[in-house]
């Protein structure tokens, strides 16, 4: 690629999407020297006020993919958890950059932690997964579904017209738009297991653009790709979409123990994957885990999904209908 013509990066127009896309653009330019320009694309998810669970899987990425296939843009940046689990025949995930912290966070009035919220406190979240896990904690909280960008949702707790006691959001998004200081608690995954691929980005281009595939590969972070592959393989095997009450969190560890850290010298690097399926009312939950090698990331996810199904996970997911 000898031309210096800017690469066209397709992005949604939200503050978070623009921030994430600019991060990728800046890193690509820094690593390869290629200039990048952002091209805003409006998606159906941006123009609808319906709950995400009703809009369906892929609602935030379909317009970006259409623009890619029409050669209106050269590549796109997605929040990985928004992508359908099936592979696209003409598109390729060329890079999965280093993941942001995948945990969920609480933003509450008066700096309160989750355990400090009084019974009857109103907590906003649009995710079935989060609603189910909140109810499973038995804190007698009122949960209300909400939508909107991060600033809008935070304003419902911290703004002059606040009508909620707290909201639960992904830490990655809050951090990326520079509002991490307003987080009142980062939720332990034992209480609130993240969504598959939460905190990760997917950099996608056309499969046939081999030079661009090679160029974008400079942004790939192998440990993040392996972790996300395991989580999404679990989701795909369960045949559950991004709005299902399914949670998964993979970590690369040493010696196969979640308490050991990479680089501590205690054995080879392994993936420890935790998965959970929770009934929407929070009454029933199945939580299991598996460990394996990064090379077998997809197989770990498939195997853990099979374990969850053997334990009755399909009946919990079916109860969302």
Residues acting as catalytic residues: 81-82, 129-130, 147, 153, 242
What are the two backbone dihedrals, phi and then psi, of residue 245, each rounded to the nearest 5 degrees?
-80, 55
In whole angstroms, give the CA distance from residue 260 to residue 253.
Answer: 6
What does the chain come to in residues? 321
Distance in Å from the first CA to the final CA of the chain: 50
Q: In what order do the strands lie in the sheet with 201-206?
A: 36-40, 7-11, 75-79, 201-206, 91-95
CA atoms within 13 A on the CB side of 196: 31
The burial of 134, by beta-carbon neighbours within 10 Å (0-12 exposed, 13-18 middle, 19 or more buried), is given as: buried
């Amino acid at each position: 690629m000898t031309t210096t013509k800017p690469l066209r990066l397709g992005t949604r127009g939200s503050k978070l999407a623009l921030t994430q896309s600019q991060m990728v653009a800046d890193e690509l330019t820094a690593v390869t020297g290629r200039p990048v320009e952002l091209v805003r694309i409006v998606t159906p998810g941006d123009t609808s006020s319906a709950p995400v669970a009703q809009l369906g899987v892929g609602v935030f990425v379909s317009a970006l993919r259409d623009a890619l296939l029409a050669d209106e843009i050269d590549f796109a940046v997605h929040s990985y958890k928004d992508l359908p689990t099936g592979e696209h025949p003409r598109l390729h995930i060329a890079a999965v950059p280093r993941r942001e912290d995948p945990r969920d966070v609480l933003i509450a009035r008066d700096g309160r932690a989750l355990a400090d919220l009084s019974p009857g406190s109103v907590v906003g979240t649009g995710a079935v997964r989060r609603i189910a896990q909140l109810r499973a904690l038995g804190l007698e909280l009122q949960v209300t579904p909400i939508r909107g960008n991060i600033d809008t949702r935070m304003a419902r707790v911290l703004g002059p017209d606040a009508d909620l006691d707290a909201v639960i959001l992904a830490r990655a998004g809050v951090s990326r738009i520079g509002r991490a200081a307003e987080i009142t608690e980062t939720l332990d995954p034992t209480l609130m297991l993240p969504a598959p691929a939460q905190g990760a980005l997917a950099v996608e281009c056309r499969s046939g653009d081999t030079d661009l595939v090679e160029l974008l590969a400079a942004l790939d972070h192998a440990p993040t790709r392996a972790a996300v592959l395991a989580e999404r393989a679990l989701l795909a095997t369960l045949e559950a979409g991004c709005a299902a009450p399914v949670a998964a969190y993979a970590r690369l560890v040493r010696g196969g123990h979640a308490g050991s850290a990479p680089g501590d010298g205690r054995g080879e690097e392994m993936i420890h994957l935790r998965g959970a399926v929770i009934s929407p009312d929070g009454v029933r939950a199945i939580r299991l885990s598996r460990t394996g090698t990064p090379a077998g990331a997809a197989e770990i996810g498939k195997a853990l999904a099979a374990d969850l199904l053997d334990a009755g996970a399909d009946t919990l997911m079916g109860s969302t209908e």
